[in-house]
Amino acid sequence: MNVAAVLMEILRSAGVRRLFGNPGTTELPFLDALPDSGLEYVVGLQEATAVAAADGYAQASGQLGVANVHVAPGLANSLSILHNAARAKTPLVLTAGQQDTRFLVDDPILAGDLVRMAEQFTKWSYQIRGAPEAPGVLRRALKIALTPPTGPVFLSLPMELMGAVVEDAGAGPLPVASRTRPEAGAIGRAAGLLAGARAPIIIAGDGVARSGAVHELTELAELIGARVHGEPVYRRTSFPGHHALWRGGLYPSPPAVRKALEECDALLVVGANVFTWFLHTEGEPFPRGLHVVQIDDDSWEIGRSYPVALGIVADPRTAIAELTGALRTRLGEAERRAAAARVEKIGKARGELMARLKATAEAEAERKPIGQAHLMHTLASLLPADGIVVDESATSLPFVLRYMPFSMPGSLYGSKTGTLGWAMGAAIGVQLASGGRKVVATIGDGSVMYAPQALWTAAHYSLPITYVVPNNASYAILKSGMLSLGLGSAKRGIYPGMDLVEPEIDYAGLARSLGVRAERVDKPGDLRDVLASCLAHGGPTLVDVAIDRGFK
């Protein structure tokens, strides 16, 4: 076989069934092997959409995502999404066709140093130098992407090498057993720190979801009676959102985290980046003297910015299960009664909070423009029990996180970096990876315009995705940011380039032009029926909701 055919066979042997991409001239020799490969080509009309779809597919399936883009400009279009994949630790292999290396010295059209462009956002970035090494390089790339800490890898594929014949059967990479067990002594010390705690707290990071450890973490939290928060930028379901012990994500600033931990005397941090902040703020997140235990499969994350009492490098699921076992043998009757009392107390406080949130949403039921609380409360009431939310709603994100149930593993995926343009394509990959589960993409009106091409792909493949657009005709989150920074222009009511008006964008018309059923909702009384109708539709839909244009 030639190199292109061997590479396709290696992907197929590794379990890859879909190749996401946007074709270009330098990719043609590689794509020539696609029709006989057994792989499905999922087309995005711009590289960011294709790579975001591969990212979403990998996150939702837990398997490898593979995308192919077009030389330097195509890779450049992909970099914001690659940045997100790096932060999300997505097992992704991104390839790009490269110009014929025999005349790279002449600086041909579209060429560039692809490896240097990609390397800051990848675990490994490499350009294949000769046909004989190509199969081994791809196997190495697959292994690196899939080995914890998982993450993206980039390969540059010179076009003149794809047609060369090589002696290789196209076998996939050898399997790697990667669930590392913690040291027994470390588990014993962690159990000792947590067993006698009067006010334990758990911070669950997205690594819990990547490890498939939601059930194990729930058991542990119930056993010790710990309140559970998501890491400040949590974008996966790492704890059941309807559980009595769940109190939502921490606000992304050191003082806010410190306040949330005021009464805590033992803290367990699992699978989290400690911590991702929004803006620089003075202060430390951990109160002085707090015993912090951190578990992660990435040694880089352990004590990266703030010291911990005990760090354990291990697979989160395995470590949590062993820690729970150690605590079961250590906890006495008095500790178990105290934990049960904490569960009851925390659950009561959560119930009161949820009642207040429901009352807030219901109070907006007749308000026009439509309130964000009412929108997300209504959407949550219509979402199927196994529904999935892919979010990039920016200003509306707090309402998404408060009102959506997120009760099942794999029910939330969001942009890990705030990268706009990710979720439009990511929803496609998530849906393809999730069988018949309904996908709802909550997308800010500004975010839609970063990747509207994704609507065509959703229509082309008849995917049951409902894009819900909370439309305030502005970059309202930036306006709020200007106010919070005390900037002079904001005090005068001037927000440069932040109003999407004159003309306002017809999102429903845009969606229809790309083959998607679309509706506009201005009246709160119409909201439920329109959402219900679009959610029931078998293909892609978009609901443009005129929301309150105010902000804080």
Looking up residue 131, the CATH number of its domain turns out to be 3.40.50.970
Q: Is residue 504 situated within a structural domain?
A: yes
* Amino acid identity for residue 47 in this structure: E
- The CATH number of whichever domain residue 237 belongs to comes to 3.40.50.1220
Q: Is residue 356 situated within a structural domain?
A: no
Percentage of residues in the chain having pLDDT higher than 70: 100
The reply to whether 504 and 534 lie within a common domain is yes
Residues 196-205 have a mean pLDDT of: 97
The reply to whether 467 and 496 lie within a common domain is yes
Is residue 536 over pLDDT 90? yes
Report which secondary-structure segment, H or E, holds 269.
strand 266-270
Is residue 552 over pLDDT 70? no
* Number of structural domains found in the chain: 3
How does pLDDT run across 205-231, given as a tens digit for each residue? 999 999 999 999 999 999 999 999 999
User: What pLDDT shows up at residue 205?
Assistant: 98
CA distance 497 to 475: 8
How does pLDDT run across 480-528, given as a tens digit for each residue? 999 989 999 999 999 999 999 999 999 999 999 999 999 999 999 999 9
> Where is the domain boundary, 348, 380, 413?
348
CA distance 486 to 106: 51
> Where is the domain boundary, 318, 348, 378?
348
The reply to whether 255 and 130 lie within a common domain is no
Q: What is the mean pLDDT of the chain?
A: 96
User: What pLDDT shows up at residue 46?
Assistant: 97
Closest CA to 152 of 238, 52, 237, 234: 52
Q: Is residue 533 situated within a structural domain?
A: yes
How does pLDDT run across 362-389, given as a tens digit for each residue? 999 999 999 999 999 999 999 999 999 9
Using DSSP, state whether 513 is helix, strand or coil.
helix
How does pLDDT run across 96-123, given as a tens digit for each residue? 999 999 999 999 999 999 999 999 999 9
What is the extent of the structural domain holding 293?
A: 184-348
The reply to whether 402 and 267 lie within a common domain is no
Q: Residue 174: exposed, middle, or buried by beta-carbon count in 10 A (0-12, 13-18, 19+)?
A: exposed
Spell out a b/e string for 281-311, using b for 16 or more CB atoms within 10 Å of the CB, else e.
eeeebbbeebbbbbbbbbeebbbeeeebbbb
Residues 343-348 have a mean pLDDT of: 97
Q: Is residue 179 situated within a structural domain?
A: no
The reply to whether 212 and 329 lie within a common domain is yes
User: What pLDDT shows up at residue 435?
Assistant: 84
pTM (2 d.p.): 0.96
494 contacts: CB under 8 Å, gap ≥ 6:
none
The reply to whether 342 and 193 lie within a common domain is yes
Percentage of residues in the chain having pLDDT higher than 90: 97
The partner residues of 69 in beta bridges, in order of sequence, read: 96
What sign results for the dihedral spanned by CA atoms 414, 417, 420, 424?
negative
The reply to whether 252 and 324 lie within a common domain is yes
**Number of Cβ atoms within 10 Å of the Cβ of 140:** 16
The reply to whether 409 and 448 lie within a common domain is yes
Residues 37-64 have a mean pLDDT of: 97
The reply to whether 130 and 240 lie within a common domain is no
User: What pLDDT shows up at residue 418?
Assistant: 84
Is residue 551 over pLDDT 80? no
CA distance 209 to 416: 14
Residue that has been written with the tokens 């699992």 in this structure: 270
The reply to whether 461 and 339 lie within a common domain is no
CA distance 245 to 229: 9
Q: Is residue 175 situated within a structural domain?
A: no
How does pLDDT run across 220-259, given as a tens digit for each residue? 999 999 999 999 999 999 999 999 999 999 999 999 999 9
The reply to whether 344 and 370 lie within a common domain is no
Q: Is residue 171 situated within a structural domain?
A: no
Q: Is residue 358 situated within a structural domain?
A: no
Residue that has been written with the tokens 């309807």 in this structure: 242
Helices (H), 244-315: 254-260
The reply to whether 293 and 406 lie within a common domain is no
Task: Give yes or no for a contact between 91 and 461, defined as CB atoms under 8 angstroms apart.
Answer: no
Is residue 438 over pLDDT 70? yes
> Where is the domain boundary, 313, 348, 383?
348
Q: Is residue 168 situated within a structural domain?
A: no
User: What pLDDT shows up at residue 286?
Assistant: 97
